[in-house]
C-alpha cells in the first residue's frame, strides 16, 4: 500500500510517500523556516525528481497552506497519485475524543478544530494539511493519527493533576501526553529486537529530540508520560523548560514587566538547553562549547541528563522495574555523550551501559536498533531509531486492511458470570484446612476439568471481610483470589485488573480457613474480562490470542458494550465470555446471556494490552 504521510508542524512540514509493504520511501519533501517572518521558507526534495537526488530550493510562500500545496506539487505526479491508497496526517492533539487513528470526515475535522484551543501551535496547521490534501486528492481516504493517542491508556492516577475536580473538569485541565506515535513505534521496534512481544515488556522510552518526553510503557500500554496537558511539562527540551515550580511562574507574573505572554515566551522559546547554555538549542553546539570548558554549556548538559535520569528512576518505580530503556530522537539516537550521562548509576535497575558499544552505536534504516548495554545487564539500554512518518503509514495501512476484513461473524458468545472465588495451591489448602486435606468437588464448571469445591474461605482485608468465598479446583501452582471492584472497596484493597495467572506484583490479602490462616503477599486481582475460545472459534471470529475486542450485550433496559475484552485461545477451552458480578449487574444480565463481537474496525480491536501471560 502507498500512503502519503503529511506532518505539518508550526515551523516545518514534511511529506513522504511510503510503501508500507516493503517500507520504501518513494518521495520526500521537507519545508523548514515556515514561522520565520524574515526569511523565505526553504524546501528540500528527495526523489522523485529527475536527478534522483535530494535538492534544495528557496520557497516563495507566505503561509502554511501555500507551502503544503507547493510541497504536494513537488511530490505528486499523475502516476504517483494513481498508486496512492490513502493520506495519513499526524495530528498533535486528539483530546479526549480520539485515542485511536480515525478516518477523517466532516465531524472528525470539526472535532480536531475544536481541539485547537489545547494545541494552538499545531492543530490549526494539521487541519490546513488535511484540507489542502483533500483539495489536491479528492476522493482519497484521509486518516488522522494522534500524538496523544497512545497515552489514552494512562490510568486516572497519572492523568489527574492534584487540583479540585471542579476546576479540572470545567477547564479541561488534565494530562494527555505527547510523542505517542514515536513512543509506540520505538517500543515495538525494541520488542522486535528483543525477539518478544511488546506485551511482555516494561519499557522506559526516552524520546530526546528538540521536544523531549519519557514514557513508561507497561506491557504495551503507556501508563505514565512526562508531558502533560501541554508539551511543556517534564524534561528539559531544546527551548522549553520542562518541569518548573508553578510558584516560580506566579512569582514572575507578580514582577514588573512580566505578563502571561512574556512568561509564555520565556518557558516555550527561551528556556531549556538554549536558556541554560545561553547559546543554542542544538546539543551539538552545546557539546562543542562544553568540551572547550564553557560552564553554562556544561550546566545545560548536566541539568538535561539529570532530569532524564530522574524520570527513568521514577518510571521504574511506577512499573515495579524495567526490562529495557529506549533512547531515541535526535539526541537519543546521536549523542553518545548524553547517553553516557543518562546511563550513569542505573545499576540499581539492573541497567549497565557498555561505554564502547555506546561510543560506536549508529542507528540507521538498516540497523534501527543498537544494544549499548553490557551483556550482563538485566535491563537493556537500547538506542532505537524513531520514524514517525513510517509509524503513521503503518497505522493507516493497518486501518485500510481492517476496513477490508470480512465482518465479524454474527455468531453469539455465551456469557458466564463469575462470583468472587479463589484458586489455591495444595500447600495453601493444607494450611487452611489441615495437613493432607483434599478439596471436595461440589459441581463441575463449564471449562473442562474445573470444579467448584465444597470449601470456602474468609477473605480478610484492612477494611473488611468477604465471607464464604468459594474455592475452585483443582489446585494450581499459585494462589489467586479474584474479586469484583465492589469487593475491593469492602476489603479496603486496590487490586489490579489482571488476566488469570498474571499475579506478579498484584495485591496481598489474608485468607482464613477452618484450620488456619494464610497471608498472601500477592494474588488478589480483579479479573480482566475475557473470552475463552478454541483456535477454530478464533478463526471463525477473525481474532487471535490476546486480541482485545468489544462485546455488545442486549438486555432488558441496560444494553451495554463491554470494551477491553481479551481473547484467550486454546484447544482446551470452550467458547465462553467471563465477566464478574459487577459487570453483569451493570448490564442487568440474566442467566445464560449472550454477547456479540462488535465489528467496529480497528476501534474495536486493539492489539496491545497490559498482559504478560502467554
Ligand atoms: P529531533 O527533534 O528528534 O530531530 O532532534 C533534534 C535535536 O537532536 C537537535 O536539536 C540536536 O540537539 C540533536 N542532535 C542531532 N544530531 C546530534 C548529534 N550528532 N549529536 C548531538 N545532538 C544531536
What pLDDT does residue 610 have? Answer: 36
Stretch 80-92: mean pLDDT: 95
Q: How far is the CA of 331 from the centre of ligand 1 (A)?
A: 4
pLDDT reading at 36 higher than 50: yes
Q: Decide: helix, strand or coil at residue 7.
A: strand
Highest mean pLDDT among 35-39, 511-515, 549-553: 511-515
What pLDDT does residue 42 have? Answer: 75
Q: How far is the CA of 233 from the centre of ligand 1 (A)?
A: 20
What is the number of the ligand 1 atom nearest to the C-alpha of 329? 3
The residue to mutate among 90, 280, 283, having the most atoms of ligand 1 within 8 angstroms of its beta carbon, is: 283
Would you say the C-alpha torsion 501, 502, 505, 509 has a positive or negative sign?
negative
Q: Greater confidence, 281 or 51?
A: 281
Low-confidence winner among 15-29, 35-49, 283-297, 577-591 (lowest mean pLDDT):
35-49
Buried (b) or exposed (e) across 73-95, using 16+ Cβ within 10 A?
A: ebbbeeeeeeebebbbbbbbbbb
Q: How confident is the model at residue 501 (pLDDT cuts 50, 70, 90)?
A: confident
pLDDT reading at 488 higher than 90: yes
Structural class in CATH, domain 148-243+309-402: alpha beta
449: left (phi over 0), alpha (psi -120 to 50) or beta: left
Instruction: List beta partners, residue 207.
Output: 213, 328
pLDDT reading at 487 higher than 50: yes
Is 504 among the residues known to form the active site? no
Stretch 455-473: mean pLDDT: 94
Distance (Å, rounded) from C-alpha 162 to C-alpha 207? 26
**Whose CA is closest to 186, among 158, 212, 217, 211?**
217
> Atom 9 (ligand 1): residue with closest C-alpha?
282
Q: How far is the CA of 211 from the centre of ligand 1 (A)?
A: 10
> Atom 17 (ligand 1): residue with closest C-alpha?
334
**Whose CA is closest to 611, among 507, 530, 524?**
530
Q: Greater confidence, 37 or 262?
A: 262
Percentage of residues in the chain having pLDDT higher than 90: 70
Distance (Å, rounded) from C-alpha 457 to C-alpha 511? 6
pLDDT reading at 608 higher than 50: no
What pLDDT does residue 16 have? Answer: 95
Stretch 391-408: mean pLDDT: 80
User: What is the overall mean pLDDT for the chain?
Assistant: 90
Distance (Å, rounded) from C-alpha 80 to C-alpha 136? 13
| CATH superfamily of the 1-146 domain | ATPase, nucleotide binding domain (3.30.420.40)
What pLDDT does residue 612 have? Answer: 43
> Atom 8 (ligand 1): residue with closest C-alpha?
330
Q: Give the DSSP H/E element, type plus range, for residue 541.
A: helix 535-541
Active-site entry in 16, 20, 147, 599 = 147
pLDDT reading at 605 higher than 50: no
Same fold yes or no, 1-146 and 148-243+309-402: yes
Q: How confident is the model at residue 48 (pLDDT cuts 50, 70, 90)?
A: low
Q: How far is the CA of 282 from the centre of ligand 1 (A)?
A: 6
**Cis status of the peptide bond prior to 134, with omega within 30 of 0:** no
The residue to mutate among 331, 340, 387, having the most atoms of ligand 1 within 8 angstroms of its beta carbon, is: 331
What pLDDT does residue 39 have? Answer: 56
What pLDDT does residue 335 have? Answer: 98
pLDDT in tens, 438-449: 999 999 887 788
The residue to mutate among 231, 281, 334, having the most atoms of ligand 1 within 8 angstroms of its beta carbon, is: 334
Give residue limits of the domains in the chain: 1-146, 148-243+309-402, 406-614
> Atom 20 (ligand 1): residue with closest C-alpha?
335
Q: Greater confidence, 5 or 74?
A: 5
The residue to mutate among 209, 338, 342, having the most atoms of ligand 1 within 8 angstroms of its beta carbon, is: 209
What pLDDT does residue 350 have? Answer: 96
Q: How far is the CA of 54 from the centre of ligand 1 (A)?
A: 21
Pocket of ligand 1 (CB under 6 A): 209-210, 238, 281-284, 329-331, 334-335
Low-confidence winner among 18-32, 39-53, 310-324, 571-585 (lowest mean pLDDT):
39-53
What is the number of the ligand 1 atom nearest to the C-alpha of 273? 12
Q: How far is the CA of 261 from the centre of ligand 1 (A)?
A: 28
Stretch 7-22: mean pLDDT: 89
pLDDT reading at 609 higher than 70: no
Distance (Å, rounded) from C-alpha 89 to C-alpha 92? 9
Stretch 132-154: mean pLDDT: 95
What pLDDT does residue 31 have? Answer: 87
Q: How confident is the model at residue 58 (pLDDT cuts 50, 70, 90)?
A: confident
Q: How confident is the model at residue 606 (pLDDT cuts 50, 70, 90)?
A: very low
Stretch 397-403: mean pLDDT: 85
What pLDDT does residue 597 have? Answer: 82
Q: How far is the CA of 105 from the centre of ligand 1 (A)?
A: 36
pLDDT reading at 374 higher than 80: yes
Low-confidence winner among 57-61, 97-101, 247-251, 590-594 (lowest mean pLDDT):
57-61
Amino acid at each position: 500500500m502507498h500512503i502519503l504521510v503529511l506532518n505539518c508542524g508550526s515551523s516545518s512540514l514534511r511529506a513522504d510517500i511510503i510503501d508500507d509493504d516493503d517500507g520504501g520511501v518513494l518521495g520526500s519533501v521537507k519545508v523548514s523556516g515556515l514561522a520565520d517572518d524574515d526569511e523565505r521558507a526553504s524546501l528540500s526534495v528527495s526523489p522523485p525528481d529527475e536527478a534522483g537526488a535530494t535538492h534544495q530550493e528557496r520557497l516563495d510562500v507566505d503561509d502554511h497552506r501555500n507551502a503544503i500545496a507547493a510541497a504536494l506539487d513537488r511530490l505528486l505526479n499523475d502516476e504517483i497519485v494513481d498508486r496512492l491508497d490513502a493520506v495519513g496526517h499526524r495530528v498533535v492533539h486528539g483530546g479526549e475524543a480520539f485515542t485511536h487513528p480515525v478516518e477523517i470526515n466532516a465531524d472528525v475535522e470539526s472535532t480536531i478544530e475544536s481541539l485547537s484551543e489545547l494545541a494552538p501551535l499545531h492543530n490549526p496547521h494539521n487541519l490546513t494539511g488535511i484540507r489542502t490534501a483533500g483539495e489536491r486528492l479528492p476522493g482519497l481516504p484521509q486518516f488522522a493519527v494522534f500524538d496523544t493517542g497512545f497515552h489514552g491508556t494512562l490510568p486516572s492516577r497519572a492523568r489527574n493533576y492534584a487540583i479540585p475536580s471542579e476546576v479540572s473538569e470545567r477547564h479541561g485541565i488534565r494530562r494527555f501526553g505527547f510523542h505517542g506515535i514515536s513512543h509506540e513505534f520505538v517500543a515495538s521496534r525494541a520488542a522486535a529486537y528483543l525477539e518478544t512481544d511488546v506485551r511482555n515488556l516494561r519499557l522506559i522510552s526516552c524520546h530526546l529530540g528538540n521536544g523531549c518526553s519519557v514514557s513508561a510503557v507497561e506491557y504495551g500500554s503507556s501508563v505514565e508520560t512526562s508531558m502533560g496537558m501541554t508539551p511543556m511539562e517534564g524534561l528539559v527540551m531544546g527551548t522549553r523548560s520542562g518541569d518548573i515550580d508553578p510558584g516560580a511562574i506566579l512569582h514572575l507574573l507578580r514582577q514588573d514587566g512580566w505578563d502571561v505572554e512574556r512568561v509564555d515566551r520565556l518557558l516555550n522559546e527561551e528556556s531549556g538547553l538554549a536558556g541554560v547554555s545561553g547559546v543554542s538549542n542544538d546539543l551539538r553546539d552545546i557539546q562543542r562549547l562544553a568540551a572547550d570548558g564553557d560552564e553554562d554549556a556544561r550546566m545545560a548538559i548536566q541539568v538535561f541528563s539529570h532530569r532524564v535520569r530522574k524520570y527513568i528512576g521514577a518510571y521504574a518505580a511506577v512499573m515495579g522495574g524495567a526490562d529495557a530503556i529506549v533512547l531515541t530522537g535526535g539526541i537519543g539516537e546521536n549523542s553518545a555523550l548524553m547517553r553516557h550521562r543518562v546511563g550513569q548509576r542505573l545499576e540499581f535497575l539492573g541497567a549497565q551501559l557498555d561505554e564502547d558499544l555506546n561510543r560506536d552505536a549508529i542507528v540507521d534504516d538498516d540497523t534501527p536498533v543498537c544494544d549499548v548495554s553490557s551483556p550482563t545487564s538485566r535491563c537493556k539500554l537500547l538506542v532505537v531509531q524513531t520514524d514517525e512518518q513510517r509509524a503513521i503509514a503503518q497505522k493507516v495501512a493497518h486501518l485500510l486492511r481492517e476496513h477490508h476484513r470480512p465482518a465479524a461473524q454474527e455468531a453469539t458468545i455465551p456469557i458466564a458470570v463469575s462470583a468472587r472465588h479463589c484458586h489455591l495451591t495444595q500447600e495453601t489448602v493444607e494450611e487452611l484446612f489441615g495437613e493432607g486435606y483434599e478439596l471436595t468437588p461440589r459441581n463441575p464448571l463449564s471449562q473442562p476439568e474445573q470444579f467448584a469445591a465444597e470449601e470456602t474461605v474468609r477473605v480478610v482485608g484492612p477494611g473488611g471481610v468477604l465471607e464464604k468465598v468459594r474455592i475452585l479446583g483443582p489446585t494450581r501452582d499459585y494462589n489467586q483470589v479474584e474479586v469484583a471492584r465492589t469487593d475491593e472497596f469492602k476489603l479496603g484493597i486496590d487490586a489490579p485488573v489482571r488476566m488469570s495467572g498474571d499475579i506478579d506484583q498484584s495485591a496481598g490479602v489474608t485468607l482464613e480457613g477452618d484450620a488456619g490462616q494464610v497471608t498472601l503477599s500477592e494474588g488478589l486481582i480483579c479479573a480482566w474480562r475475557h473470552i475463552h475460545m478454541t483456535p477454530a472459534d478464533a478463526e471463525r471470529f477473525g481474532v487471535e490470542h490476546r486480541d482485545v475486542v468489544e462485546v455488545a450485550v442486549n438486555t432488558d433496559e441496560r444494553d451495554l458494550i463491554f470494551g477491553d475484552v481479551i481473547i484467550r485461545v486454546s484447544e482446551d477451552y470452550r467458547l465462553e465470555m467471563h465477566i464478574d458480578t459487577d459487570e453483569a449487574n451493570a448490564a442487568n444480565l440474566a442467566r445464560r446471556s449472550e454477547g456479540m463481537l462488535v465489528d467496529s474496525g480497528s476501534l474495536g480491536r486493539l492489539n496491545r494490552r497490559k498482559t504478560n501471560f502467554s
